[in-house]
Structure 1
Amino acid sequence: MSFISPAATDALQSWLAHQRAIKGAAENTLIAYQGDVIDFLSFITAHKGAPQGLGALADISVTDMRAWMAQTRETGVAARSLARKLSAVKAFYKWLALREGFEPTAVLSTRAPKFQKKLPRPLAPDAARNLIDAIEIQSQHPWVCARDVAVVTLLWGCGLRISEALSLSAADAPLPATLRITGKGGKERIVPVLPAARDAVDAYVRMCPHPQTAEAPLFRAVRGGP
């Protein structure tokens, strides 16, 4: 950070400490934030021809932001990565503006580049079998292994989200041929239950040591909770 003013360096470290203490950000996230903001501040230093103190940073213009984004793209940074960097810079500036009392409109109004979001790729059958085989030996409790195999089989074989699988109650077992699932936004859908998923859940229920009352969650933690 030798090309960044001491005041900007101190502000960055204070912001990172805030993210760690108040926001609970993980260390890897903080490392990424630091790198992204340093890249931005280093560019501004070179762009302006001198290290920028806090007063100068408050005067960043839309033109400055466009120049940074253009230069970043020219170095081969993908649109998705640039959007992440911009997000970090905006978060830093939002905090800095509140602390220093200036209006960060030029930074916060900068639009992230558009990029094509990748759809999740389905797990291949062989990979799914290998995953399930590995799960079967992950716990010292055979019933916990059976539980985890049942959950993963539901996720893969029935297309459930993890929250949807864990929301099932004991009253749902044995699983019917189809399940009525309430997903995001309260939308309902009907999903077919593969025989492999039904068998896995049946095996887990037979082994589970906790009482399977109708109102209890289907999948239990070691101590009996959800």
Structure 2
Amino acid sequence: MTKHDLLEAWHNHLALAQRRSPHTVRAYGKAAERLLTGMKLSRWDDVADVTATRLRTHLASRRSDGLSNASAARELSALKGFIGFARAQAGHEKTDAPRLRGPRIKKGLPRPVTPDDALGLADTVEELAAAEWIGARDRAVLLLLYGAGMRIAEALSLKSGDVPLGERFTVTGKGGKQRVVPLLPVVREAVAQYAAVCPWTLSADDALFRGAKGGPLGQGAVQKATARARKAMGLPDTATPHALRHSFATHLLGAGADLRSLQELLGHASLGSTQIYTKVDAATLLDTYRSAHPRERS
């Protein structure tokens, strides 16, 4: 067995058994490759025998290269999973990963944009696009993020056969978990408008959103279009496509949505992931108070 064989099996496990996103598969695969190369490992038994001490030394070497706390924590999580998988492949009775605590990470609050800025971004990407159909495409994608709370990967996974969209749509999110999201008329109309002007043949099983050369649209193109739009609008760098999903959640919570309903709409596995938006809403209210209250401005 070679290092390539180990990595291929790990990739397949992540993509097929765990149904991880392509981004996660790439990142976890790279982490495993660095471990195999650094320790010169090429058998499942070798990987299974990696101790907490050896893993700590490997991560210390990575930290010396300038790895941040957040990146180090992700790398540790990836390698624990890889070693646990290796122990299962090697036939070990216990498949627990080495016990090793990762660096502490200070969690920042999501940075939502205002409702006007969210809609303004969608309109501006359309205005700045190189072609009419590309503008309609980018506007439709951003409205799916803000109007339905989709992750960008979820929006880009839509098939041509999904159009026309109804008032509700079943989204397959992380880990293959499905949820039903309501779609506002403005969102459905934006998607229909794009489909009507798209110059490429839209077969039912093909990707709905296409790149400039006709292939499936990538996240990078949407992020670049959003970056141009936010620069034109004078918005901060935090106004990203993913911030529109945060804005969807924050604005719904501010309008009276309960946490359980919001959890279902966002597709969060635990309520704890959703509760962060209560802090965001409180922080937003405090910022508004400070900027608007006469005593604060004097």
Q: TM-score range by the shorter chain?
A: 0.5 to 0.7
One-letter identity of the residue aligned with 1:144:
P
8 Å Cα contact 2:70/2:105 also seen in 1: yes
Q: Normalising by structure 2, what TM-score? A: 0.43
The one of 251, 261, 266 equivalent to 1:159 is 251
8 Å Cα contact 2:47/2:87 also seen in 1: no
Q: Which has the higher helix share?
A: 2
Partner of 1:71: 61
8 Å Cα contact 2:69/2:103 also seen in 1: yes
Question: Unpaired segments of 5 or more residues in structure 2?
Answer: 127-135, 141-163, 166-183, 191-243, 261-270, 282-298
CA drift of 1:75 comes to 0.5
One-letter identity of the residue aligned with 1:53:
R
Distance 1:66 1:132 in 2: 45
CA RMSD of aligned residues (A): 3.8
The one of 69, 74, 80 equivalent to 1:84 is 74
One-letter identity of the residue aligned with 1:123:
V
- Sort the Cα spacing of 1:182 and 1:135 in 2 relative to 1 into closer, same or farther, 3 A: farther
Structure possessing the higher radius of gyration over alpha carbons? 1
Partner of 2:49: 59
One-letter identity of the residue aligned with 1:130:
G
Partner of 2:185: 144
8 Å Cα contact 1:90/1:108 also seen in 2: yes
One-letter identity of the residue aligned with 2:83:
Y
Distance 1:160 1:101 in 2: 49
Pairing 1:35-50 to 2, within 5 Å after superposition = 35-45=30-40
Identical amino acids, percent of aligned pairs = 25
Distance 1:19 1:69 in 2: 22
One-letter identity of the residue aligned with 2:59:
M
Pairing 1:177-192 to 2, within 5 Å after superposition = 180-184=256-260, 185=271
The one of 100, 118, 121 equivalent to 2:90 is 100
One-letter identity of the residue aligned with 1:160:
L
- Sort the Cα spacing of 1:104 and 1:24 in 2 relative to 1 into closer, same or farther, 3 A: closer
Question: Unpaired segments of 5 or more residues in structure 1?
Answer: 1-5, 46-50, 162-177, 192-226
